[in-house]
Amino acid sequence: MITIQKQHVANWLMAEYLANSHAVNEKIRLFERKYGQTCAEFSQAVKNSSAENFNQWDDYIEWKAYVKTAEDLALKIDEVKHGNFEIA
């Protein structure tokens, strides 16, 4: 039998979550540079536009998903920092 310390699992989880968070946040920054605004600002602009632009809608949907993923990862990182996880 192999024994693994909870701290080693926490370190692995933290590394995984931080790497994913970095990648997701880089995608968010690309959209922010592309449109020169935040996702919330872009959301309002797209929703209030009188003409439909499918490329912008596609970007909005993808951008919104990245923002949600970033929020979820931030919560997971916080949980690992505080040791709030179980090993099954």
What are the distances in angstroms from CA 76 to CA 3, 18, 67, 69?
24, 10, 14, 11
- Residues 7-57 have pLDDT tens digits of 999 999 999 999 999 999 999 999 999 999 999 999 999 999 999 899 999
Q: How confident is the model at residue 4 (pLDDT cuts 50, 70, 90)?
A: confident
Our separate counts of H helices and E strands in the chain read 3, 0
Report in angstroms the alpha-carbon separations of 3 from 6, 15, 80, 86.
Answer: 10, 20, 20, 15
Q: Is the pLDDT of residue 59 over 90?
A: yes
What is the predicted pLDDT for the residue at 81? 95
Residue 82: phi and psi, rounded to 5, are -95, 5
- State pTM to two decimals: 0.89
The structure tokens 């099954």 sit at 88
Q: What pLDDT, on a 0 to 100 scale, did the predictor assign at position 88?
A: 78
Domain ranges of the chain: 6-81
